[in-house]
Structure 1
Amino acid sequence: MQETVDTESGAQQVTAGRAAVRAPRRPGRARRLTRALAPLPWLAPALALIGFAVLWPVWEMFQTSRQHINSFGFDLGDYGWKNFSAVFDDPNLASVMARTGVWVFAVVALTVLISLAFAQLFNQRFPGRKVVRWALIAPWAASVMMTSIVFRWMLDPNNGVINVLLHQLGIVSQFNGTQASWLGNPTHAMYWMIVVAVFVSVPFTTYALLAGLSSIPAEVYEAARVDGAGRLRTYWAITFPLLRPAMTVAILINLMNVFNSFPIIYTMTGGGPDSQTSTSTVYMYTLKTLNIGQSGALSVINFGVVIVIVLIFLRANKNSLKES
């Protein structure tokens, strides 16, 4: 009987010992803190860059927007929210923001549509495909300001290549001894600036979409053909959904770049005549020569608009992915 009791107690001790070995020991608070901070040395350079190149300029921008700075650049002290009130009371603000919305939508929409067609073309095999791909990089590799200057020269009302060619073809007529002044007319100038913006934006967007197309497995298309799906059905059911992540990245980058675009408009028209071709970024720079505080306030508004646009787009894209 005693031997049975000893055996049972020994078995219980062995079982308890095994359970103790199997049970994970909760790390102490110091160990958890050390584990959480372990990646910090690797992240420190990136965090420092973000703090120096993003957070600090944003803070300085906000500080400037609340200062009373005269035209000579002297800081006269805190100005509260008066700079923001002055910006919202500006009679040109509504037209500038509306023009900015049209500018962003037109450039991004045309860029994505044209780039999608180019990406589909370059994803096919044809003679000289590599050369054509290289040639597409040229507008992207060139300086945006240099490209804008070239287009401004080409649109010169007297001897610009575009005006001379259009006149020789009889598309435009002379008046007052000169060619049509495209950049002197706000409406025509906006059309041409959209053309230039699309011209410099298409290469990057095409390559982003081309990378997305190249990552789609060929087996998926083979399965669709076996199931009898046509080209249109295959595109909408397979290609477009699988291309959505690459398209999201391309649209987001284009939204931010186009909204903040400065060289094209300032080089071609300077925002004139009378700020009729200014977007919010160009108008912000124009305000700088008149009132630095109001320019800072408008820059804060622009920053907020970009953040809102990005968040709305990401939210809408996330919901569409869930539905699909």
Structure 2
Amino acid sequence: MSLNWAEQLFSVIEDAARAHPRSWSLGVARNGGALRIVHLSAGSESFQEMDRCLAVAPPAPGRQSLTVFSCTSEVLQEIAPTVRLADGLHRPAGSITDLDPNRWRWRTDMNRKVVYGLDLEGLRGLTVVAEAPDDSELSAPFRTHFQWLAQQRGEALIHAAMVVRAQSGVLIVGPGGAGKSTTVCSALLAGLGTLGDDYVWVQPPGATGGTFTARSVYQTVKLRPSGPAANHPAVQGLGHRSVREGQKRLHYLSPEQSVDPQQSVDISAIVVLSRGLGEGPPRQVSGSAALVAAAPSTALQGADDQQQTLAVISAMARSIPTYQVPLVASAELQGQLVEQVIARSAGALMHV
């Protein structure tokens, strides 16, 4: 049986990486949510910067690995000049649909000049850029691949932050600018851990019961250089890079600040941050507040059909308590408010 164009393309790329190992940079295995990530890249040294957002993954026999190939369009043209790519690759944006949807995912974004591909069966991914990875790739590498894989598993990559104490934590939801990153920094200052401030891999309860759990994806925090948290003590001394044309500074968290990337953490509560509430205590509110805060930004930043992702968010909002927490100027008080929610909700979780 003849190979389709996607199988041909991956075959050619794998052959090129084996035949010319010096041309392809092989990164140290990293953690990405529920998966171990092996990243090979060619055409730009900047690809190696993508790995910095992900924690190093120790050997874990039996754990599934996703191999991602990243290259420039020039490299792709050199190694695969005769492979017919789908007509969809030349569209301004959108999914490519001439392949078996049970196995393949392909998407183009010609505004950013990037193409993503994923072989769900073989756990192989591809990122092709024009010249070098842009800020979106450097600050949230492989995000589209993670979204696709989470959806296939009945799970979800959610735009949220998470703060953790011991084996449980709170999911902090809201659009960009809601205060998620600032709150994470305040929690770190209070001695809590984090799964990051941008995306969290959420897994629903299993068939035998349990609760929603989360895994770390990116071990970073993004802050505005001109914002009130720019010089937050929690990020002092951390490595960082400027992204979004200097509008944000991406800080790479230390292992001490981050939760073990292979650990699943129980989600004991959802936090919705609100301005203008003074310095009052956290207040339990309807789960609809969590749905409104989490769903739009997650869906807008998602790839393709978000029905599965939205279903996970809806189920989570129905079954996990939601708290409204004021966003205050004092980093110390902000950390204390989050601690109050963790203590209150973790106790309730023990009795579920």
Larger Rg computed on CA atoms: 1
Higher RCO by CA contacts (8 Å cutoff, separation 6 or greater): 1
Instruction: Please indicate the TM-score interval, normalised by the length of the shorter structure.
Output: under 0.3
TM-score by length of 2: 0.24
TM-score by length of 1: 0.25
